[in-house]
Structure 1
């Protein structure tokens, strides 16, 4: 009975989701790296704020050598990089053989479940898809944000601004951002009036005005566009 209790405790620790301070995360990551056998995965998403299009999440694993090479090329939080800079890192990741997987959550899922749940679902799916490529389960998954990925059978370390602090999460943010930007550019050819190639679905003034004037397209998030309903004018003059 005692043995079973200890086993349950160990399992609980393995699968626990821990919210940590940045310094503690970096300390733990260095310890895993120094041990030489720590598989660390990072996950992040792109597209929480737009009025249109999917949210895209990615999960990434890198070796120490790959990480050093990408940092030398300027790897950092995708939000702090230009589109050209992100593409450069993307191409370098491909050349270096960095392992990654991604998952999009559709507009329908976002409207049905809300953006937070849809984002976490996509992050979980991307991690599980990457897991199948690895030689062993990750010792931890560093998640950008304060919410754990529901149902993920792996230890999670939750960290605000992880995309700016942990290189493997920075890489995940770039994968997610590049894939989503490319998807929105392609969707812009189907719905050119909304300028998706320029705004990527984000609520710029021009984009909001277009939605208010024409109404949402099939790829707009209805739950995000409630305040932009076209105004119907009735001519009451004789």
Structure 2
């Protein structure tokens, strides 16, 4: 479920509560960004990227950056790039560019760890790719709903590039889509989206407040590491914070293989009713070999009165 927050200044953006499944933030639009505006008639350019796809901790954030096509020359000179290749200080300076350039706007959709895991563990699973696709399409639709004339959209690759590009083009035929790997380092508008996604996710992790309240030992500084399963600090956090009955708190993606293994090793054994062999329904209506009567007859006190 996706809800929409009021427009916010990206510099003053605070993390939303940890139990929000999916939340969309929008920056304010320029005062003259109307459907009849000349810049809007010429069209807008959009870029979409994500942060937090692989970590076992925290949310996954999808972000879209967009601006009028006439702003593109200015955009090229700001210095946007793949956020992973930049220092935190540079990322913060580029984040500030959204406040300093009113024609540069953004939206971000945050998928909580609970939403990610619950979807992946459904009876009919919704894998991470599918959840990412829904987030991407939601960001595009949100921009259109705001009255923006999106002409071009560049997206960092999600699976087979051409297949995903064709799906987006079919869903939004008025937009020219380009989907390719490393789009955040090729197209500045995708680099801008990469900054929004990365900084937003980092703020979630740094300021995470568990809705269940502090855990035992939280008086000490909690070291979670980068959140990636290969990080020794993250591995230590997972080992030390497991509850033998309840497992983990909300920041952990419990559908990740890393967590499943730790739960099997360190948590109390749990047997689900569905895992126990149950007699079939037909067995209640079939005659018992020893007594010659169906089990349902005995339970209901039914007996034969002979032939009519």
Q: How much is the aligned-residue C-alpha RMSD, in angstroms?
A: 2.8
Output the CA distance in 1 between the equivalents of 2:145 and 2:105: 11
Output the CA distance in 2 between the equivalents of 1:104 and 1:79: 18
1:5 equivalent in structure 2: none
5+ unaligned residues in a row in structure 1: which ranges? 1-35
1:91 equivalent in structure 2: 96
Structure with greater helix share of residues: 1
Output the CA distance in 1 between the equivalents of 2:179 and 2:194: 15
5+ unaligned residues in a row in structure 2: which ranges? 1-40, 120-125, 243-247, 269-308
- The structure whose Rg is larger is 2
Tell which deviates more after alignment, 90-99 or 64-73.
64-73
Aligned residue pairs total 196
Q: TM-score, normalised by structure 1?
A: 0.71
Residue 161 of structure 1 deviates from its aligned partner by 0.7
Cα deviation, 1:32-79, whole Å, max 9, x if unaligned, reads xxxx93432111111001101111111111245654445434221111
Indicate conservation of the 8 Å contact 2:44/2:148, yes or no. Answer: no
1:22 equivalent in structure 2: none
1:46 to 51, 59, 64: 51
Over 3 Å counting, the alpha-carbon distance change for 1:70 and 1:202 in structure 2 is farther
Output the CA distance in 2 between the equivalents of 1:64 and 1:37: 7
The yes-or-no answer on 1:187 pairing with 2:187 is no
The yes-or-no answer on 1:209 pairing with 2:236 is yes
Indicate conservation of the 8 Å contact 1:188/1:194, yes or no. Answer: no
1:106 equivalent in structure 2: 112
Cα deviation, 1:131-177, whole Å, max 9, x if unaligned, reads 233442x2232111033566843543211110110111110111111
Output the CA distance in 2 between the equivalents of 1:115 and 1:194: 28
Q: TM-score, normalised by structure 2?
A: 0.56
The yes-or-no answer on 1:133 pairing with 2:146 is yes
Residue 230 of structure 1 deviates from its aligned partner by 7.0
